[in-house]
Amino acid sequence: DAGVIQSPRHEVTEMGQEVTLRCKPISGHDYLFWYRQTMMRGLELLIYFNNNVPIDDSGMPEDRFSAKMPNASFSTLKIQPSEPRDSAVYFCASSFTQGWGETQYFGPGTRLLVL
Amino acid sequence: ILNVEQSPQSLHVQEGDSTNFTCSFPSSNFYALHWYRWETAKSPEALFVMTLNGDEKKKGRISATLNTKEGYSYLYIKGSQPEDSATYLCARQASGSRLTFGEGTQLTVNP
């Protein structure tokens, strides 16, 4: 398996623009997680899905952020409008039948810079 | 302990030294403790998942222990090598699937 795939790997945009990050989880995994990594806050969970349904979005910072999972093999994280403080590395991770202790497999991340 | 805390924040050792770090976490509502290895410019890579009090896991020169009653886990590296240089993250899993990560211990192994 190719692992978790994220695109783009790098994104530079201007404040106010819409940004869409994409993720393809590992085939057969039924959980998908979106994380954000910053110097100030470390690695924090934004939202996660189970069987394409959002389960916990309490980490989504504000209404400018939205995430969708239209099918088992694709998810998007959208920021509209983007702001400089959104600059971070965004990771997608997936896992299988999370009960107690299943490993989350991380993608390579998208490095976002908002000017 | 309210959050996941890791110590030390950073560590420099010489090649061949053995070392260990600590992860402290709230012991209530505990499901699992995860350890990840995170190299610069790469993505976190899973090392261990532990669920039971007294669990010990080992992978090569790296091992980990878990004490759920007092809320801590130790990660040990025996005979550190330069390629072990990375940030080591622990994460606590409580109810559901949410992981709460610590800030990590940044290890540098000097040749």
pLDDT in tens, A3-46: 999 999 999 999 999 999 999 999 999 999 999 998 888 899 99
pLDDT of residue A107: 95
pLDDT in tens, B37-75: 999 888 999 999 999 999 999 999 999 999 999 999 999
Nearest CA in chain A to B90: A43
Nearest CA in chain A to B47: A103
CB spacing of B43 vs A55 below 8 angstroms: no
Whether chain B has a CB inside 8 Å of the CB on A49: the answer is no
Distance in angstroms (rounded) separating the CA atoms of residues B70 and B111? 36
pLDDT of residue B22: 97
